[in-house]
């Protein structure tokens, strides 16, 4: 979290002293194999103060954590960790197999400051050298509410006076995912989705991996600069401290943009693209990693956005055409879809570009129960350029808003994928991202939508469409709860 820089060092030092007796700082060959892989993948982000070693080793400044994602020497970390270097070259602390830790330089490969993620590469590659290193697999599944996650980080035992020969503290912190919220991490930029969990972030944990307790895959990074607007209220209600997780989604988007491979838990592939069946005929693009859009805080009446976008050969969205939608809903939507990634379409096993329809709906935040609102765009869409284009995705022409379930104030996103026939009929619905109890309401509403079919080479064709619903808490329910809590 954001702290006063003058207070950070002494607080960190005191915290390290308190933690030291309770935390085992043992070498990787003294712990279980599974833990060894975890620790060998984590690397502190540092900067050497001196070029020559003293009796204590090389003196360095410590900034945060990163972790290896593949055997080519690529490292993920939080962008704000690097910003503390003020343009200086980042370094990482590595442990040779039979020697004292060494400080090696890292090259910045890619950075997304808006979503606070950065990619480094270590050269020469430590995986072909004599270092104790490993990589962690990334997960495409978002952590669910109530799911247990593990944060692991390496911290110097003497943060204000760190040397390579000093002991390193290995911290393990279990937490439960409580909620999600959107936050503006970079001033003046778009909002980023974060997951909140019941763990207080300590100084130095930023950029460390957060893994699922079930799959042991990385679901996010520790977001140490976050300070949410509702932090105090949520923490008081839940009676515990809160930390934030940056979903691995934003890292996957940056990696795919730069054509950098990453590990998954699948034994047969480093990149999910390789695991897709090479069938005959046309295979539409498949969603790989998606996030919803933030609900505009200033809106009380809901809105809709419809896009017709090209999924290019790398699986990224390009040539995004706005069919319908206005600010502020369009702004929130474009921020979200620019991070979406897909497995690209294939025709007879060959990667091809194709267009896909995307719809975002922001239902009106009224107290339940209420009558579902329908929107008919058939007349105004009849002569639109997208409707008559030789290449386009399936597009909704009649939409229905979900009926918000009574007895709840849950908020968040539900993302569905629907198969639309060449006659414009909705054939099937798949849940890409669910949120109980809102998912059934979203599916029921989508089954009432009507579509104009997609087109390929000028002919009507079967096509998928992705529909994202963003629910906000009903205004009346929130006010009623606030009134009760104040009594």
Query: Rounded distance, CA 446 to CA 363, Å?
Result: 12
- Whether the CB-CB separation of 93 and 43 falls below 8 Å is answered with yes
pLDDT tens digits along 295-321: 998 787 889 999 999 999 999 999 999
> In the structure encoding, which two tokens stand for residue 33, read together?
């194999």
Share of the chain above pLDDT 90, in %: 60
pLDDT at 334: 97
Model confidence at 210, pLDDT cuts 50, 70, 90, reads very high
The pTM of the whole model exceeds 0.75: yes
| Percent of the chain residues topping a pLDDT of 70 | 80
- Name the helix (H) or strand (E) containing 111: strand 102-112
pLDDT at 298: 79
* Phi, psi for 70 (deg, rounded to 5): -160, 175
pLDDT at 20: 33
Distance CA 175, CA 178 (A): 9
Maximum average pLDDT range among 26-35, 170-179, 272-281, 307-316: 307-316
Residue 420 pLDDT > 90: yes
Name which of 15-29, 106-120, 270-284, 442-456 the model is least confident about: 15-29
CATH architecture of 277-475: 2-Layer Sandwich (3.30)
pLDDT at position 98 is: 77
pLDDT of residue 147: 92
277-475 matches 5-249 in CATH topology: no
| Structure confidence at residue 408 (pLDDT) | 79
pLDDT in tens, 174-203: 999 998 999 988 887 889 999 999 887 888
What does the pLDDT read at residue 225?
Answer: 76
432: exposed, middle or buried (C-beta count within 10 Å: 0-12, 13-18, 19+)? middle
How many Å apart are CA 210 and CA 207, to the nearest integer?
Answer: 9
Q: What is the pLDDT of residues 228-246, one digit of tens each?
A: 444 444 444 444 578 899 9
387 or 9: which leads in pLDDT: 387
Strand-strand pairing, 354-362 and 463-471: parallel
pLDDT at residue 353, as a whole number = 96
Q: What is the dihedral of CA 291, 376, 471, 466, to 10 degrees?
A: -20
Residues 6+ apart with CB under 8 A from 298: 328
| 139-148, 276-285, 457-466, 476-485: segment of lowest average pLDDT | 476-485
Report how far residue 280's alpha carbon sits from residue 278's, in angstroms, rounded to the nearest whole number.
7
Over the chain, what is the mean pLDDT? 83
Name the residue among 243, 202, 240 with its Cα closest to residue 223: 243
Q: How many CB atoms lie within 10 A of CB 88?
A: 10
- Name the residue ranges covered by the structural domains of the chain: 5-249, 277-475
- What's the whole-number mean pLDDT along residues 21-49? 65
Architecture of domain 5-249: Beta Barrel (2.40)
Measured in degrees and rounded to the nearest 5, phi and psi for residue 411 equal -135, 160
pLDDT in tens, 313-350: 999 999 999 999 999 999 999 999 999 999 999 998 89
pLDDT at 480: 39
């Amino acid at each position: 979290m954001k702290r006063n820089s003058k207070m950070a060092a002494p607080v960190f030092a005191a915290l390290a002293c308190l933690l030291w007796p309770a935390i085992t700082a043992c070498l990787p060959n003294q712990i279980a194999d599974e833990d060894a892989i975890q620790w060998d993948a984590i690397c502190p982000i540092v900067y050497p103060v001196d070029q020559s070693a003293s009796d204590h080793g090389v003196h360095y400044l410590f900034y945060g954590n990163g972790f290896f994602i593949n055997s080519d020497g690529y490292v993920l970390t939080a962008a704000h960790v690097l910003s503390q270097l003020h343009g200086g070259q980042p370094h990482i602390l590595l442990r040779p197999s039979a020697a004292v830790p060494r400080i090696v330089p890292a090259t910045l490969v890619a950075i997304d400051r808006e979503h606070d993620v950065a990619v480094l590469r270590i050269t020469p590659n430590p995986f072909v050298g004599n270092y104790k290193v490993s990589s962690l697999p990334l997960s495409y599944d978002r952590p669910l509410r109530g799911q247990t996650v593990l944060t692991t980080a390496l911290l110097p035992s003497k943060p204000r006076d760190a040397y390579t020969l000093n002991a390193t503290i290995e911290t393990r912190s279990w937490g439960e995912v409580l909620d999600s919220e959107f936050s503006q991490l970079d001033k003046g930029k778009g909002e980023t989705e974060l997951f909140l969990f019941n763990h207080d972030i300590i100084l130095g944990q930023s950029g460390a991996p957060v893994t699922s307790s079930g799959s042991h895959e990385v679901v996010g990074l520790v977001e140490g600069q976050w300070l949410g607007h509702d932090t105090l209220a949520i923490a008081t209600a839940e009676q515990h401290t809160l930390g934030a997780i940056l979903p691995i989604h934003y890292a996957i988007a940056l990696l795919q943009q730069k054509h950098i491979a990453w590990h998954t838990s699948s034994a047969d592939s480093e990149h999910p693209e390789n695991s897709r069946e090479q069938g005959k005929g046309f295979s539409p693009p498949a969603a790989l990693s998606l996030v919803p859009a933030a609900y505009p805080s200033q809106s009380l009446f809901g809105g809709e956005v419809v896009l017709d976008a090209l999924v290019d050969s790398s699986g990224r969205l390009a040539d995004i055409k706005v069919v319908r939608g206005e600010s502020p809903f369009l702004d929130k939507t474009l921020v979200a879809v620019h991070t979406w990634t897909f497995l690209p379409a294939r025709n007879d096993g060959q990667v091809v570009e194709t267009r896909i329809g995307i719809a975002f709906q922001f239902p009106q935040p009224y107290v339940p129960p209420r009558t579902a609102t329908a929107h008919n765009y058939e007349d105004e869409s009849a002569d639109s350029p997208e409707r008559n284009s030789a290449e386009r995705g399936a597009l909704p022409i009649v939409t229905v808003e979900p009926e918000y379930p009574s007895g709840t104030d849950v908020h968040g996103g539900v993302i569905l994928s629907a198969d639309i026939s060449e006659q414009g009929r909705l054939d099937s619905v798949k849940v890409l991202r669910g949120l109980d109890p809102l998912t059934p309401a979203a599916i029921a509403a989508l089954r009432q939508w009507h579509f104009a079919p997609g087109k390929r080479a000028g002919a009507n064709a079967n096509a998928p469409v992705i529909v994202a619903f963003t629910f906000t808490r009903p205004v009346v329910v929130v006010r009623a709860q606030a009134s009760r809590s104040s009594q």
